Structure 1
């Protein structure tokens, strides 16, 4: 007879082993590193909510990882859920001293660049970024969402949460437009390797951006985001606060990280917040 809690047993799915916490700490918590603490919990509602509550006590560089999230959140408070140990669900605490607060809006975009670069090296899978903070992979010629980022203020800093679908099978996906690294043909789905790669990439990009006082141009962040952004060059619909919508071609990411649309009446409209729908996807459909 199967125990009633078998689905939450750390060894219940041998294809999805638990993270090796000592190995992660040995590889990441080194002298001079951005990362100062790393904790892994078996299950929690949201790593972002947990870390926001503890951010001041833990200080900059704290990393909180969950093997399972039961109330994970994306943009617009959308739910983000996946089977235990099937993905990477983690949050980091950053305190960008010396960076003007008006430039902190680049942090979720920075997390996107860092995640995409880290996964390209560690998973060997091509990724793209949908403005402002979705991670896209291609499955059977169609772009689908495999991850996302969410930034929240926490005292004197920011908590950035990252969620990545790693080994989800087709029948485990929450919606048909979702995907996982495995479905995209990743050469590795070892979560320890992937998490280490993303955190090292995040440390690299955050260091460059902070050293440039948050200047996205001088740090190379604006150029990197633009190069990896699948939204640019597409006709899109921006669903804006207040039940407004704007349709146009996405033509640029400006110095403040805003998406610039060229509308049908010839105007240039910078979008700082909104939900973006790709009206011409890679396969000719909506995304």
Structure 2
């Protein structure tokens, strides 16, 4: 007489997955996220409208006061806006994740023979498209306003790539918040509290040497400043400097810290 064994609710059918299977599951979840974006085009509003609005607004407001004229300010503001828009875009990652958890979507994923990291890494992989759109529109807007990057096409392409990498790595922070906090509104509020200090207490809009000494120390240690310095070296000068290495190292450290935290918290909540 044979016995039918039914897995307990919520228990993974296959607790061990290979690297190849993990990648396959992640891309499947990324495809799901892309289809979701296709059906909800309003998810692109922040990466389509914000780069155009912020680039024009900050350039014309601060250009004359900080650099003397708009054209001289463009090499500073364009690189700063690139990082700001990617940071704003990745904040939506945690909000969307929390909404899916509230709807019970992740509970269904939990019962499938799927890699534990796939439901988290999949949507974040799909969000690479959003970061790319935001960075592209910011650069195009800057070119139309008179920005002429000294790094040429190669430098701009390298800077664009670094922006996308930085956005993806920083999104793990918001993914972790999405698994820790109880509501999407709480994730959005906490994200704003993180985004504003990181963005405005950096060298995105003004040179760091114009700030008080005590503030300069924070600005120089700010990971956003490290990324901005690297992007300016690539796009404005076409130089592969130590700043680029520091920025990539910082992105790797963020992923190494917050990816395990997000996965662990996700496993506890669903």
Give the TM-score, by structure 1 length: 0.30
Q: Which has the higher helix share?
A: 2
Structure of higher RCO (CA pairs closer than 8 Å, 6+ residues apart): 2
More strand as a share of residues: 1
Higher Rg of the two aligned structures = 2
TM-score where L is the length of structure 2:
0.31
